Amino acid sequence: MMRQYMEVRRGLPANTLLLFRLGDFYEMFEEDAELGSRLLGITLTQRNGIPMAGIPYHAADTYINKFLEQNQKVAICDQMEPPQPGKIVRRALSRILSPGTTLEDHHLDSRHHHFILALNWHDGALHGAWMDLTTAEFQIGSENRVADLTPVLSSLAPREIVVPEVGYLNWSNADQMGNEYALLAQLFENRPVTEVPDYHFDPISGGQTVLDALKVLSLEGFGVEKDHPALGAAGALVTYATENLCARPENLTSLKLYRSQENLLLDPTTLSNLEVFRSASGARDGSLLDALDATVTAAGARLLEGYLAGPDTNRNEIERRQNVVGEFLESPGFAAELHDYLKCVRDLQRIVGRLQNRIRNPRELGAIRDTLRQIPFVFEILSAFDCPAVQALQARLLEFPHLRKRLDEALDEDLPSLLHEGGYIRDGYDSELDRLRSLTRENKTWIANLERKEQTRTGIRNLRIRYNTAFGYFIQITKSNLHLVPENYIRRQTMVNAERFYTEELKAREGEILNAEEKSIAREEELFRDLVAAILKDAPELVTTARALAEIDLFVGWSKLAREWDYCRPEVTGESALEIKQGRHPVVEQMMRKERFGLAGTHAFVPNDAYLDGSTEQIALITGPNMAGKSTYIRQVALIVLMAHIGCWAPAKSCRIGTVDRIFSRVGATDELARGNSTFMVEMNETANIINNATSSSLIILDEIGRGTSTYDGLSIAWAVVEHLHGNGDSGPRTLFATHYHELTQLERQLPRVRNYRVSVKEWNDEIIFVRQVVKGSADKSYGIQVARLAGLPPSVISRAKDILAKLEADDSSHNLLRKRLNRIKHAEESGESLSQLEMF
């Protein structure tokens, strides 16, 4: 057996731990045992000097999950035949599980995609291929600039990255890449990286590997040229998946070419600033994704995630989605009914993918049957709509009447999750199975009768006939009754409190019973395989249908959202004007209502207008005290633009959105509490990235840029950035710039496309009242720097700070701003006036 073990072990790729099936356990040996016991926190034992650690077969999934969570790859070696006395069982590697290639339900988050990415740098360009093996989504892309490919890659949040083994992060020209290199490093951060031999990335053989996997003769149908440079990465992915599945992935059917110019790009920093997939705390809760998710199926939730990862700039597609949402919004009754049916729809895409890749269990066939039962209802409701977009969606739904009938007839209502214990095919479906089952039933009755007969004959009332796998059927007699045992009982085993016996009669029958049972299970498995074959015949159509169902789910969800929160349909145009009337922040608005005990109508989010236009009102400078609502305002504009691009309706009275190629969002360093001490450097790096990559179709959201350094440094940088974004031409990227540097508002007079706005506040009885309204003009007051006093610093510190300030000011006569502030404080103290809270801000 150890020889068998060594053979399998030798063939494994590096950093892979082997789980070797031994009876009811998966065992690890030697170094694997040491590593495994440490990662899982289980006991390490020894046998003949060999370190061993084992996990029970039935609980293996939980342990395997723990490995994958710690980015540990595991190879599974299974028993390929039932154990027989005196013979070593045949074993073979059945698959290798890695964080990016696992398919099992237990290892996946049903509402998230599960991407694996392969990446290489070749001929001065970055090439990527990414695949969700669970749903067979497969895409490639090549870009000369890293900044054009990393946005989509970070949005996909790959679970694992495959790279050529020659130092992937020492890309030969890392120095020249400079800023771009930092973007890559960000993508790789905290992700497991698997290195594979360089030649796996060869584009020529990669092209062939992809053709074979997709079972096609040419990639032209997918719009991919046969020598596309990203086919190297695609080939490397297919090879890696094949190695891990121990067979070619059977569910891949298409390849899509990613073109950055067809998408609205959001780089990783923007995604996190705008809290698109995760809120600042790292949770899904509080993110845009969560706020827009009113789906009832896992596939619907994943589709939303996919839309947000690759927002479209194709207006036809945007309008198609908007049209469907609009139809559902107008017919809330039908929409609600659709969701009721969709609630019973299961994850067809992933289930079919598992069946294709040989992971099979009866319960999942039941899930397909349950889903097929819903389709006619969904189909019927869609017929009521007189809208081409809905009809096109309906046309993608197929009903599979034959398959459904067959599954209905074949499968029991309640199904087990294990295949090899039988008990899932309906009585009456197959006469052979019925015959075997009735034999088994008869035998069981025979055993029950025998038990009663023996109880009477021996007078032992607690005599029992039992079964176990090691000894088969036996008669169990407690110790106190042993003197009553008849002569024809033959002793089989002695227990603490009882003895076990058999009789010739029982033994003869046992063979027959086991035989019938075995045959009946084998027959069920045969029928199961036929059902799987029937399903797989329809696999492509099932997957198309599943995608259509996911869209219906998402659009119904959006229509509910639009109704509940009074969203409008954005008018998406090819012009540069961006006009929002009474816009709201989709997430803050929802949170505010939740905080107010979920009472509708009691939320108090103050709506605001916005207008930007690249050639007239290009840059909006927003001033106002801390806490006034500047950040919320500029983010809400970005989020509304993003929502418009995914086809969702938006939180506003009306909006007209000129398509955007990129959204950049940066937050000044001091707001980024969690990012260590080089924050200013990071901020400047990111600002450089915007300046290098923004085009006149971009949207830029800058929040307190330049705050991470001394006042005058910061002000100068902020000033220069605004000047640069404005440029000398006649248009530039649409920009919202929130700042507390009042000096910047002078720019309105110097640069024709800059506009000043302020978030107004009111003073009342020395108190500051935030009215959260954005109006034209600059803030009319310099709001003091006395936050320290507000925060409860002792008076001695405050007064010492003032002295220092006075001294600094005397040293540098150019510090007018500081002097003004100090004078204001002095004046207040001398005249006995108490400083308003407003000024302290």
Amino acid letter for position 195: E
Q: Smallest gap, in angstroms, from Cβ of residue 626 to ligand ADP?
A: 4
Cβ pair 761, 626 in contact under 8 A: no
Query: Is residue 628 at the binding interface for ligand ADP, with CB under 6 A as the rule?
Result: yes
Q: Closest approach of Cβ 595 to ligand ADP, in Å?
A: 10
CA angle at residue 545 from 541 to 549, to 5 degrees? Answer: 170
Using CB atoms within 10 A of its CB, is residue 761 exposed (0-12), middle (13-18) or buried (19+)? buried
Tokens 């509080």 belong to: 286
**C-alpha span between 623 and 756 (Å, rounded):** 8
User: In the bound complex, what is the minimum distance in angstroms from residue 787's beta carbon to ligand ADP?
Assistant: 12
Give the x-and-dash track for 402-441 against ligand ADP (CB under 6 A): ----------------------------------------
Backbone angles phi, psi at 17, to 5 degrees: -95, 140
Q: Which of 171, 258, 501, 605 binds ligand ADP (CB under 6 A)?
A: 605
Nearer residue to ligand ADP within complex by CB, 552 or 628: 628
Out of 588, 642, 705, 779, name the contact with ligand ADP by CB under 6 A.
Answer: 588
Residue 488 to residues 450, 458, 484: CA-CA distances in angstroms? Answer: 14, 12, 12
What single-letter DSSP state applies at residue 629? S
Look at residue 17 and give its three-state secondary structure.
strand
Stretch that binds ligand ADP, among 35-43, 250-258, 479-487, 621-629 (CB under 6 A): 621-629
Question: Judged by CB under 6 A, does residue 627 bind ligand ADP?
Answer: yes
According to the binding rule CB under 6 A, does residue 473 interact with ligand ADP?
no
- Under rule CB under 6 A, which residues in 803-822 are in contact with ligand ADP? none
The CB-of-760 to ligand ADP minimum distance in angstroms stands at 11
Compare residues 335 and 628 and give the one whose CB is closer to ligand ADP. Answer: 628
Q: Which stretch binds ligand ADP (CB under 6 A): 73-81, 624-632, 653-661, 826-834?
A: 624-632
Provide CB contacts within 8 A for 499, sequence distance 6+.
476, 477, 479, 482, 485, 491, 493
CB atoms within 10 A of CB 752: 12
| Contact range with ligand ADP by CB under 6 A, out of 14-22, 311-319, 323-331, 620-628 | 620-628
C-alpha angle 241/242/248, rounded to 5°? 120
Cβ-based nearer residue to ligand ADP, 484 or 627: 627
Q: How far apart are CA 711 and CA 796, in angstroms?
A: 24
Q: What is the largest distance, in Å, between two alpha-carbon atoms of the chain?
A: 118
Q: How far is CA 433 from CA 360, 406, 515, in A?
A: 20, 16, 13
Reduced to 3 states (helix: H, G, I; strand: E, B; else coil), residue 384 is coil
527 contacts ligand ADP (rule: CB under 6 A): no
Q: Is 562 in the site for ligand ADP (CB under 6 A)?
A: no
Query: How many residues sit close enough to ligand ADP to count as binding (CB under 6 A)?
Result: 12
CB 77 within 8 A of CB 93: yes
Provide, rounded to whole angstroms, the least separation between the CB of residue 584 and ligand ADP.
7
311, 629, 708, 784: residue in contact with ligand ADP (rule CB under 6 A): 629
Q: Is 610 in the site for ligand ADP (CB under 6 A)?
A: no
HSE-CB of 425 using CA atoms within 13 angstroms: 27
User: Would you say 194 or 590 has its CB closer to ligand ADP?
Assistant: 590
User: Mask 632-671, x = binds ligand ADP (CB under 6 A)?
Assistant: x---------------------------------------
Q: How far is the CB of 293 from ligand ADP (least distance, A)?
A: 21
Q: Segment near ligand ADP (CB under 6 A), from 187-195, 622-630, 716-724, 811-819?
A: 622-630
Position 772 contacts ligand ADP (CB under 6 A): yes
Read off the amino acid at residue 480: S
Do 254 and 222 form a contact (C-beta atoms < 8 A)? yes
Given the rule CB under 6 A, which of 29-37, 357-365, 619-627, 785-793 is the region that contacts ligand ADP? 619-627
Written as one letter, the residue type at 418 is L
Span between the terminal Cα atoms of the chain, in Å: 75
* Residue 112 C-beta-side C-alpha neighbours within 13 Å: 16
Q: Least distance (Å) from ligand ADP to the CB of residue 222?
A: 45
In the region spanning residues 178 to 237, those forming contacts with ligand ADP, defined by CB under 6 A, are none
Which of 626, 678, 695, 823: binder of ligand ADP (CB under 6 A)?
626
Question: Can you say whether residue 282 is alpha, beta or left, with left for phi > 0 and alpha for psi between -120 and 50 degrees?
Answer: left
Cα separation, 236 vs 242, in Å, equals: 10
Contact 299, 553 (CB under 8 A): yes
Closest distance to ligand ADP from the beta carbon of 783 (Å): 11
Q: How many CB atoms lie within 10 A of CB 499?
A: 19
* Contact between 631 and ligand ADP per CB under 6 A: yes
Based on CB atoms, which residue is closest to ligand ADP, 354 or 740? 740
Per CB under 6 A, the list member of 630, 662, 666, 753 interacting with ligand ADP is 630
According to CB under 6 A, which one of 12, 93, 125, 606 is a site residue for ligand ADP? 606
Distance of closest approach, residue 795 Cβ to ligand ADP, in angstroms: 26
Residues making contact with ligand ADP (CB under 6 A): 588, 605-606, 624, 626-632, 772
